[in-house]
Chain A
Amino acid sequence: MAISSLPQEAPAQPPTPLLKPGREVIVDILIEQGVDTIFGYTGAAVMPIFDAIYRRIFPHTGTVPNIGPACPNCSSQCRNYGNCAANGIDKETRCLTPLFVENDMSKNGNDAGTVYKPGSQVIVDMLLEQKVETIFGYLGGVVLPLFDKLYDAPIRFIIPRHEQGGCHMADAYARATGKPGVVIATSGPGATNLVTGLATAMMDSVPLVALTGQVRTDLIGNDAFQEADTTGITRPITKHNVIVKNPNDLAQTIREAFHIATTGRPGPVLIDIPVDMQLAQCPIPPKKDIELPGYKLRPQGHSRQISMAAQAINAAQKPVFYVGGGVIISGAAETLRATAQKANVPVTTTLMGMGTYDQSRAESLDMLGMHGAAYANFAVQHADLLVSIGARFEDRVTGNLKTFAPNAKIVHIDLDPASISKNVHVDIPVVGDARQVLEAMMPELEHKPRTEWFEQIAAWKAKHPFRYDKKKDVIKPQYVIEELYRQTQGDAIICTGVGQHQMWTAQFYKFKRPRQFITSGGLGTMGFGLPSCIGAKIAHPDKLVIDIDGDSSFNMTLTELSTAVMYKLPIKVVLINNGYMGMVRQWQELFYGRRYSQSSLVNPDFANLARAFGCAGLTVDKKTQVPDAIKQMLAEEKPCVVDFHVDREENVWPMVPAGKSLHEMNGLDIFEMA
């Protein structure tokens, strides 16, 4: 988009500095700096800026410069990549000089019993020791030694089309199985392409081990070709990261990485491995228990705290269990069901907690929060006790914190002490693993009838179910999801992008088991849908795996369709195509006076595009075609994309506007109308 020059206001030298909203100041300064074209993508945190830009733009199609990497000094054959001139090697010999000098460690201090191997082989051995079966990754100069050893290793390798895709695949593989995902990328751009994937995994506590190549240790810090400070860049978006600079550390570092990624509150761990470490002779010390003095796990929970929580539950008239992804991670879904039924307490889940509690049960309150069920939000606001299990009181869940669950005493069960009392004041904190804590609590719980409370909940459920207009002669997005739910008997593994379609999926697909719903909750990463669908399908080749995606989200990573084709993965993509960044458009409709600044794209013909990739592709624009199209899709043996042209301006209801209290939902009356 291009900004025209400022409207000509004669600047009459104001005596005090002119006060303007920050968004206007930003655009003023951009114009002052001579910016006439901006490349950008909207989202909740930049919508005010987009609104300011909207006032001053002419529609304009910018061309994106096509910049590819190239050796700045000589031919692409140069084995010194860009460093030849810096190293004072002349042009004739530069292509002949060996890039790396093998470091023979076996000569110095070889302890008896310790095996020495090239680092690249040590990495493979460690991956096998950790029982890794599948790796996602992309090649590059400084990981060639490792890839050479992987060539002979009994490990399945999946090449994505972009490292971000590979990272999401490994992430979904982990979410679908509970085993750690492994992703490999080269230095520099390979590593930076992992950033979104790592942050996504970090926010949703997904166990991931990322291995990145790095330039030779003696070049680090010299701005070598494809050098990036990978550990610096990824520090805040990994649970832990390290760079290996000593061959003696390599093997143990990998063992520790798997340990840290998979225990406690899981998360991504990145190991940056300079290429000379891959070539050096590295020892493999005998396997022993991991000792990390700074890493303590407290899974049991304090028995006094557990008793206090149990007594609070027994005493409560109107308790609610508020359950997050921690319950899935700890494998506590079954224990949770038993606990809730024994104590007779209704259960609401966060987006990440979906699947922990069978939604077909009467005491399931489904999802709470900004686009949660009205009955869940009402129940929380009326509760006298809120028991949070493996959830973290995120703002999309709580609405205005000051008025969140105003009458409730709060019990918080979480493995991460830092999550407790971070956002809300907690009356009874229990630091521990959800399953262990619930199991310890169970004998102390009493069954209480709570007839009034359950009657009240049933009344809310009857009055405010998730609803939409079924009469209108357009394809309602909710209808597509409902029909998909019906035809798959609620049994498919569902992945999503981010936006309205994600919320409708959470509202209209009822989940019954953990690890069935794979979505980017914490970071809200558009483009997660397709790669995660591929990762989950690789983890579960026998299960039906479906990506319910938005048109704009899908556009971000649809290149991974060719990965699905290459590995013959019969995944399904249900495209909820409203021709908008629907969620953003909804906010602009409601809060920015319908000014749809930069929130629609010109989409390709997705069905045709899918066919060009080697997938099956269908377009559906009539309501009556929906059931057959889904049937056809489910029968399809190739990867299949079905492009549903849905009602363009449908909104997600109910909605708690940002900053409002949970019970102040918009759209409840719309519900009753329908």
Chain B
Amino acid sequence: MKHILSALVLNKPGVLAHVAGMFAARAFNIDSLAVGPTDDPSLSRMTIVVVGDDRVVEQVRKQLAKIISVVKVQDFVGQDTVSRDLMLISIACPPEKRPEMLALIEMFNAKTVDIGPKFVMVEVAGPESKIEAFIEACRPYGIKSLVRTGTVAMARQSHGKIEE
């Protein structure tokens, strides 16, 4: 099962190495890892996606929390969360395919960020499933290259859903 762990860590050199090293040393597999600063300059946020049974993920959580420079770890499992990936994807797109491609981009609520005679570069943000679906939809055209950020997530405070 997929778990999203959110770790607040000290914004100090060596912290990422501590975290990454722990994952390697304990043979935990991670799906993705996203790191960025927070509103507090002394802290960073790491969002880690781990696949494993509950025991393994519980160990991951505890081992993370044990690292001195990790301040707090949350497992979002069972919680109502908003999770997003960001992707930049460059797709082969000769002029005659453009209208079709632009319709696809619109359908996915994605954004064209660069365009040339033979390709189009698109920015897509959204839940992982949407990103995956967009990749599949693009495959027939030919994907030239693709980068993804890894998931970032946050627990919902309200109960109603504004958008999914």
Chain A positions near chain B (C-beta within 8 angstroms): 231-232, 235-236, 239-243, 245, 260, 292-295, 416-418, 420-422
Chain B, range 41-62, C-beta contacts under 8 Å to A: 55, 58-59, 62
B5-41 to A contact mask, C-beta < 8 Å, 1/0: 0000110011001100110010000000000000000
B14's partner among A243, A292, A421 (CB-CB below 8 A) is A243
Q: Is the CB of B68 within 8 A of A422?
A: no
Q: Is the CB of A417 within 8 A of B65?
A: yes
Q: Is the CB of B10 within 8 A of A418?
A: no
Chain B residues lying within 8 Å of A240, measured Cβ to Cβ, are: 68
- Asked if A242 meets B65 with Cβ closer than 8 Å, knowing A235-B21, A294-B70, A294-B71, the reply is no
Q: State A293–B44 Cα separation when bound (angstroms).
A: 13
4 additional A-B residue pairs with CB within 8 Å, beyond A239-B68, A416-B66: A241-B14, A243-B14, A421-B58, A421-B59
Q: Is the CB of B68 within 8 A of A292?
A: yes
Q: Is the CB of B25 within 8 A of A417?
A: no
Q: Nearest CB to that of B18 among chain A residues? A: A235
Q: Is the CB of A294 within 8 A of B59?
A: no
- Closest CB of chain A to B20's CB: distance in Å? 10
Q: State A232–B20 Cα separation when bound (angstroms).
A: 12
- Closest CB of chain A to B68's CB: distance in Å? 4
Q: State A17–B58 Cα separation when bound (angstroms).
A: 40
Counting contact residues on chain B (CB < 8 A from A), the size range is 20 to 34
B68's partner among A245, A294, A416 (CB-CB below 8 A) is A294
Q: Nearest CB to that of B20 among chain A residues? A: A235
| A-B residue pairs, 3 tightest by C-beta | A418-B62, A294-B71, A240-B68
Q: Nearest CB to that of A242 among chain B residues? A: B14
Chain B residues lying within 8 Å of A422, measured Cβ to Cβ, are: 59
Q: State A294–B25 Cα separation when bound (angstroms).
A: 21
Q: Is the CB of A294 within 8 A of B18?
A: no
Q: Is the CB of A295 within 8 A of B68?
A: yes
> For A232, A260, A295, A420, which residue has the most chain B Cβ atoms within 10 angstroms?
A295
Chain A residues lying within 8 Å of B112, measured Cβ to Cβ, are: none
Chain A residues lying within 8 Å of B18, measured Cβ to Cβ, are: 235
- Closest CB of chain B to A321's CB: distance in Å? 24
Chain B residues lying within 8 Å of A418, measured Cβ to Cβ, are: 59, 62-63, 65-66
Q: Is the CB of A417 within 8 A of B9?
A: no
- Closest CB of chain B to A264's CB: distance in Å? 9
- Closest CB of chain B to A290's CB: distance in Å? 12
**Would you mind naming 10 contact pairs between A and B with Cβ atoms under 8 Å apart?**
A232-B17, A239-B68, A240-B68, A292-B68, A294-B10, A294-B68, A416-B66, A417-B62, A417-B66, A418-B63
- Closest CB of chain A to B24's CB: distance in Å? 8
Q: State A236–B24 Cα separation when bound (angstroms).
A: 10
Chain A residues lying within 8 Å of B10, measured Cβ to Cβ, are: 293-294
Chain B residues lying within 8 Å of A417, measured Cβ to Cβ, are: 62, 65-66
Q: State A86–B104 Cα separation when bound (angstroms).
A: 57
Q: State A293–B71 Cα separation when bound (angstroms).
A: 6
Chain A residues lying within 8 Å of B22, measured Cβ to Cβ, are: 236
- Closest CB of chain B to A576's CB: distance in Å? 34
- Closest CB of chain B to A235's CB: distance in Å? 5
- Closest CB of chain B to A248's CB: distance in Å? 14
Q: Nearest CB to that of B12 among chain A residues? A: A242
Chain A residues lying within 8 Å of B58, measured Cβ to Cβ, are: 421
Chain B, range 79-109, C-beta contacts under 8 Å to A: none
- Closest CB of chain A to B115's CB: distance in Å? 41
In this assembly, does B67 line the interface, its C-beta being within 8 Å of a C-beta of chain A? yes
Q: Is the CB of A421 within 8 A of B55?
A: yes
Q: Nearest CB to that of B67 among chain A residues? A: A294
Q: Nearest CB to that of A418 among chain B residues? A: B62
Chain B residues lying within 8 Å of A243, measured Cβ to Cβ, are: 13-14
- Closest CB of chain A to B59's CB: distance in Å? 6
Chain B residues lying within 8 Å of A235, measured Cβ to Cβ, are: 17-18, 21
Q: State A231–B13 Cα separation when bound (angstroms).
A: 11
Q: State A239–B69 Cα separation when bound (angstroms).
A: 11
Q: Is the CB of A294 within 8 A of B9?
A: yes
Chain A residues lying within 8 Å of B55, measured Cβ to Cβ, are: 421
Chain B residues lying within 8 Å of A420, measured Cβ to Cβ, are: 62
Q: Nearest CB to that of B43 among chain A residues? A: A293
